Structure 1
Amino acid sequence: MSAGAIADKAADTPGGRYRWRVCAMLLAATTINYIDRQVLGVLAPFLQQDIGWNEIQYGYIVTAFQAAYAIGLLCAGAIIDRLGTRIGYAIAIAVWSVAAMSHALAATVGGFILARFFLGLGEAGNFPAAIKTVAEWFPRRERALATGIFNSGSNIGAIVAPLMVPVVAVAWGWQAAFLVTGVLSATWLVVWLLWYRAPERQPHVSAAELQWIRSDPPEAVVRVPWSQIVRHRQAWAFVAAKFLTDPIWWFFLFWLPKFLHSEYGLTLTGLGLPLIAIFVMADVGSIGGGWLAGRFVRRGWSINRARKTAMLVCALCVVPIIFAARADNLWVAVALIGLATAGHQGWSANVFTLTSDMFPRHAVGSVVGMGGFAGAVGGMMIATFIGFLLQTTGSYVPVFLMAGSAYLVALLVVHLLAPRLDPARLQQSGPELPAA
């Protein structure tokens, strides 16, 4: 979706439409973010042959990315808050742009581990920076839409990568695939630094649009320390859900091309269509999962019943993946995996909403940060485990069994820790600051 298309779509909203061009920039950054991180997954089956790493070593390469991503999630928010959105976002994308291109220089396992580590460190800044940008440019009533638009870049990137990467790699070599995606992020960085300013400093923003952006009444924002949050079972319910299920999504991103190559003999160019089909289904699931919970609420169900029923439906969509490792037909496997990715994305939409169901707005960011860190740690652990498992057994069956059961286990844990999704009662002991 281009900046012009988003602006035209929002043309009838009050106060002008320049803020939607900002939203288009965030969409582009998130799309590039997911293209950059998925290049290795698409090329992995063939790099493994060229460079000679084994399954354990590939697990270590993925683990390096996850470890850095976890560290970055803990640090990125504070850095962006201190330096501001323009410079903070620029630093994050500069780090991941250089890291993405540095993969082209890697010739050993150690080289790929180093490149992946810095890529994870830089990419961790994307979502904190984008969410903060939305808060600066949009009134509260439009933030959900703006966030939904830029977040769709994650699925767009997952679809674009298997389309673009094989073509570039076949034409100019695998190194070119990393260079091209790195150039995309570097180009975005130049445009961002030349073009982005805060709303008050952007000359193209009309007085009416600025008034609309700042139309919310100011409210006090109370900083809630983690020591307050971790005392509540509701926080651990969210953390557990992310820890148990985020690693499955990382498995989909980094191991599906290897699975399709090893089980069905797909060539580099043959991977594109199956991967696109899988991630298009994921996109549908992302929308459908949120719609389903809303549908239940409109029918008069309680938030607790609606949210958990939608999560149960999504969890059940993942269960059939246990048969994918033994599927005789490629497209049967694609359908089972696509259904599972759709279930994950619908699950994820509802899990993120748990935070606003149970916590006040001023604590949601901290809770989401804790959950994101837990999910990255889980992904780091499963990456190493899968590497050893595949090196030892050569079978994906245990991995798909684990994926098929993870969501039902996570839902049970969520229900035990937060049986009614009661709001957490936080002590507001932190200093009050004026809201941005």
Structure 2
Amino acid sequence: MSSAQATGASAPDAKIGMYRWRICALLLAATTINYIDRQVLGVLAPFLQDEIGWNEIQYGYIVTAFQAAYAIGLLCAGAIIDRLGTKVGYAIAICVWSLAAISHSFAASVAGFMLARFVLGLGEAGNFPAAIKTVAEWFPRRERAFATGIFNSGSNIGAIVAPLMVPLIAVAWGWRAAFLFTGALSAAWLVTWLLTYRTPEQHPKLTAAELAHIRSDPPEPSVKVPWARILRHRQAWAFVAAKFMTDPVWWFFLFWLPKFLHAEYGLTLLGLGLPLVAIFVMADVGSILGGWLAGRFIRLGWSVNRARKGAMLACALCVVPIVFAAQADNLWLAVALIGLATAGHQGWSANVFTLTSDMFPRHAVASVVGIGGFAGAVGGMMIATFTGWLLHTSGSYLPLFLMAGSAYLLALLVVHLLVPRLEPARLEAPTTGT
């Protein structure tokens, strides 16, 4: 073992230093702002619809513009950030989404909102690739899962903060101020990032002991696996199918729940806050419990295959009761059913992401996640356009909740048929004979 490894393994955090956790806090803040920015439109949508005069189909197109750009961004962001480095790449991403968030306040038409949402999607797609790369730069392997869990919790925090903060700003200063304020949050984070971020080797506030701790792992092989080779394997298609079939449900929750609660229960802008907070707090709990459940099954002696799919089944069953939400005659019954479904989705998502490390070597996981994220965003585009058309023609949310309630069980069936034993994919390049 090298001296760096020995230092990293034996020294307590108090002696090693804690600066890397400040970097993690920056990532948490960025992810929280990321979700606040994308949630502003969903919270204000029922009231902007009257203000701007769009119909359900046009709102569907606005959401689709974001999803299309997000899909494109997921394909490109990783390569751009790898080429430019984390500091510059992350800065460009948040600069783009900050300007895009602010530009919403100047939009006065459907086309204007579509353009603003498209640029926002391009910028926001860079958040997770940049944050994951930052964690890889600043944390040894044994701490990366925890650090990733911390910054990823910002997605739920943002979904909780937005319905509390945005209505207050909009009522006090108008809806345009809500977009200006959240865009300013992104800009403030950007300034902080540029002033404070350096690589560990170049950071003046990092102690030698903490740097040794961060670099205590053996060098990681830099192996790029082409997508064409990954997509030859049914393990990849299992993950892609799961994301394509279930991610659109989460996008529906983000962008249409405020409209549903307003249309069905007459909630005012300020009245949306508490129900939406309750729903997304349940989602946060579900995210934790879904991951815990699979681990609990494994500790009971279940195989990884049985434990992972057992946890996914439990989460999928939590979503099924949402089929009754569209006809619930009580607001809080609907909130409970939808909250249970969002909890099920987040628990499902935690296990679906873990499928990649169950079936692929570490150096291929990021590529597989990127492909699956693209598939999920494409599915989100399709559901956004379909939802707008359906609500415009029928006004009924029932078919959408029926689709949501069945999507996870169907996705689990597809996953099981493609990978009945979760056997690892063999990605080795073919060798030529002599």
> Under a length normalisation based on structure 1, what TM-score does the superposition of the two structures give?
0.96
Is structure 2 residue 257 aligned with structure 1 residue 229? no
CA 181–212 in structure 1, closer or farther in 2 if over 3 Å, else same: same
Residues 142-291 of structure 1 aligned to structure 2 (within 5 Å): 142-291=143-292
- Specify the code of the residue in structure 2 equivalent to 1:283: D
Structure 2: 5+ residue stretches without partners: 1-10
Q: How does 1:20-419 map to 2 (within 5 A)?
A: 20-419=21-420
Deviation for aligned residue 1:254:
0.1
Q: Give CA deviations for 1:218-243 in whole Å, capped at 9, x if unaligned.
A: 13222110111000000000000000
- Asked whether 1:423 is paired with 2:421, we answer no
The residue identity in structure 1 corresponding to 2:118 is: F
- Residue 259 of structure 1 deviates from its aligned partner by 0.0
What amino acid does structure 2 have at the position aligned with 1:131? I
Q: Read off the aligned partner of 1:381 and give its amino acid letter.
A: M
- Which AA in structure 1 matches 2:294? A
User: Are the equivalent residues in 2 in contact too, given 1:224–1:429 (CA < 8 A)?
Assistant: no
Determine the C-alpha separation between the residues in 1 that align with 2:15 and 2:137: 17
Deviations 1:309-337 (A, max 9, x none): 00000000000000000000000000000
Once the two structures are TM-superposed, the CA of residue 429 in structure 1 deviates from its matched residue by 6.9
Question: Equivalent residue of 1:406, what SS?
Answer: helix
d(CA) in 1 for partners of 2:330, 2:312:
29
- Give me the whole-angstrom Cα distance separating, in 2, the residues matched to 1:421 and 1:158: 33
Report deviation, 1:14. 6.0
**Alignment-mate amino acid for residue 410 of structure 1:** A
Q: Distance in 1 between matches of 2:202 and 2:429?
A: 33
Equivalent position SS for 1:222? coil
CA contact (8 A) 1:27 1:150 kept: yes
Deviations 1:88-141 (A, max 9, x none): 000000000000000000000000000000000000000000000000000000
Secondary structure of 2:198 counterpart: coil
Mapped to 1, the partners of 2:395 and 2:387 lie a distance apart of 10
Q: What is the alpha-carbon distance in structure 1 between the residues aligned to residue 359 and residue 216 of structure 2?
A: 26
1: CA distance, partners of 2:217 / 2:12: 20
Which whole-Å CA distance do the structure 2 matches of 1:182 and 1:245 have between them?
29
Single out whichever of 197-206 and 220-229 deviates more from structure 2.
Answer: 220-229
* Deviation of the 1:287 alpha carbon: 0.1
Identity of aligned residues (%): 83
Q: Which runs of 4+ in 1 moved over 4 A?
A: none
| Equivalent AA in structure 2 for residue 291 of structure 1 | W
CA offset digits 1:144-196 (Å, max 9, x no partner): 00000000000000000000000000000000000000000000000100110
- Partners of 1:13 and 1:65 lie apart in 2 by 44
The secondary structure found in structure 1 opposite 2:222 is: strand
Cα distance between partner residues in 2 of 1:240 and 1:313: 19
Cα offset for 1:11?
Answer: 8.0
Change (3 A) 1:172 1:75: same
- Deviation per CA, 1:371-408: give whole Å up to 9, x if none: 00000000000000000000000000000000000000
Cα distance in 1 between the residues matched to 2:319 and 2:209: 47
CA contact (8 A) 1:228 1:427 kept: no
| Alpha-carbon spacing, 1:190–1:429, altered in 2? closer, same or farther (3 Å) | farther
**Aligned CA distance change for structure 1 residues 322 and 13 (closer, same or farther; 3 Å):** farther
CA drift of 1:428 comes to 3.9
The Cα shift of 1:427 comes to: 1.7
Q: Which residue of 2 aligns with 1:4?
A: none
Mapped contact 1:14–1:212 kept (Cα < 8 A)? no
Counterparts of 2:188 and 2:43, CA distance in 1:
23
Preserved CA contact (<8 Å) 1:304 1:421: yes
Per-residue CA distance 1:17-49 (angstroms, 9 max, x = gap):
100000000000000000000000000000001
State the alpha-carbon separation in 2 of the partners of residues 103 and 33 from structure 1: 15
Contact map agreement 1:77 1:129 (CA 8 A) in 2: yes
One-letter code aligned to 1:225: P
User: Aligned partner of 1:345: which letter?
Assistant: Q
**TM-score, reference length from structure 2:** 0.96
CA separation in 1, counterparts of 2:430 and 2:201?
32
Q: Distance in 1 between matches of 2:15 and 2:345?
A: 36
What one-letter code is carried by the residue in structure 2 that aligns with 1:292? L
Query: Number of matched residues?
Result: 421
Instruction: Measure, in 2, the Cα distance between the counterparts of 1:372 and 1:171.
Output: 37
Structure 2: how far apart are the matches of 1:182 and 1:386? 28
Query: Structure 1 residues 262 and 11 mapped into 2: Cα distance closer, same or farther (>3 Å)?
Result: farther
**Higher mean displacement: 272-281 or 220-229:** 220-229
